[in-house]
Amino acid sequence: MEAGVFYGRSKSKTNPLLKKFILTTRSGFEVIDLQKAIEHLKRAGDVLKNVIANNGVILFVGTSPACKNIIKETAEKLESPYVTERWLGGTLTNFKTISARISYFKKLKEDKSAGRLIKYTKKEQLEKDKELLKLERLFGGIETLDKLPSMIFIADLSQNQYAAKEAKQKKIPVIGFLNTDTDPTLVDYPIPGNDRSSASVVLLMKFLEEAALEGKKEALLKKEEPKEAKTDGEEASK
């Protein structure tokens, strides 16, 4: 309650399919049922943890002012790809083309770092630098995405419906924060809550981050188990 997770949108904007997540209406605004928010948050956390524990790749999306900083921070901590600028149409449905652009971006960045751009004129180098900045903004968060993600997390579904629709088209499961004006059919694991307040988003993301970090620990343990078994077998044979 202190973080304002329960604040919904105005009643006139309510999506009828979200009424099950609404506790009451106060002064024309919807009040989200926090018990249901907690229940769905825990469920989503378990799903996120299991996907990462099995070496799945999560693509984090959040482009609104309330979401972008915490999304970038969380994704970088988890070494996961992310989108915090605008969603590029075709990121999932036309992944081959997007991959080619990412490869070009990485090559240009490598050439810049290695000093290979000095063969161009000063004007051409300036144009390359401008292009690099633009590509960094568009692809910087997804340059490690060498295949379609196992799951997508969307912090501001109302602003990134195209991302959810592309995921549905490619049969990629979606976790998302839902305010009272959004379409719950776009996500597989909805988390009702206020996605317009940075305090609310940070609180919810911190819970999911802890679940994801637990998943990373499990994934590391699974990698180490065969090595330990081999070592024990070698010692036994000696």
Residue 11 is part of a domain; what is its CATH number? 3.40.50.10490
pLDDT of residue 117: 85
Domain count, the chain: 2
In a domain, 237, yes or no: no
Place of tokens 């979606």: 174
What is the domain extent for residue 130?
Answer: 93-147
The pTM of this model reads: 0.88
60 and 167 both lie in a single domain: yes
Q: Does 76 map to a domain?
A: yes
- Mean pLDDT on 34-60: 96
> Is residue 235 domain-resident?
no
User: For the chain, how are helix, strand and coil distributed in percent, rounded to 5?
Assistant: 60, 15, 30
28 occurs within a structural domain: yes
**What pLDDT score was predicted for residue 184?**
92
Q: Do 163 and 128 sit in the same domain of this protein?
A: no
- Greater model confidence, 22 or 236: 22
Q: DSSP H helical segments within 54-140, as ranges?
A: 68-78, 95-114, 122-139
How far is residue 112's CA from residue 100's CA, in Å, rounded to a whole number?
18
Say yes or no: 82 and 5 in one domain. yes
Q: 116 with 207, same domain?
A: no
Q: What is the pLDDT of residue 7?
A: 77
Q: What CA–CA distances, in Å, run from 106 to 93, 101, 192?
A: 21, 9, 38
Of the two residues 89 and 230, the one the predictor is more confident about is 89
Q: Mark whether 41 and 113 lie in a shared domain.
A: no
Q: Do residues 97 and 77 share a domain?
A: no
Say if residue 212 is in the same domain as residue 169.
yes
| Rounded mean pLDDT, 225-232 | 56
Residue 172: pLDDT above 90? Answer: yes
Residues 73, 116: one domain? no
Question: So what's the pLDDT on residue 226?
Answer: 62
**Does some domain include residue 232?**
no
Provide the CA 212 distance to its chain's centre, in angstroms: 12
Shared domain for 193 and 81, answered yes or no, is yes
Q: Are residues 128 and 10 in the same domain?
A: no
Residues 112 and 82 in one domain: no
Sign of CA dihedral 171, 176, 182, 188: positive
Cα separation of 227 and 88, whole Å? Answer: 41
User: Is 106 within the bounds of a domain?
Assistant: yes
What pLDDT is stored for residue 216 in this prediction? 94
pLDDT in tens, 18-33: 889 988 888 888 889 9
Sheet holding 22-26, edge to edge: 7-10, 29-32, 22-26
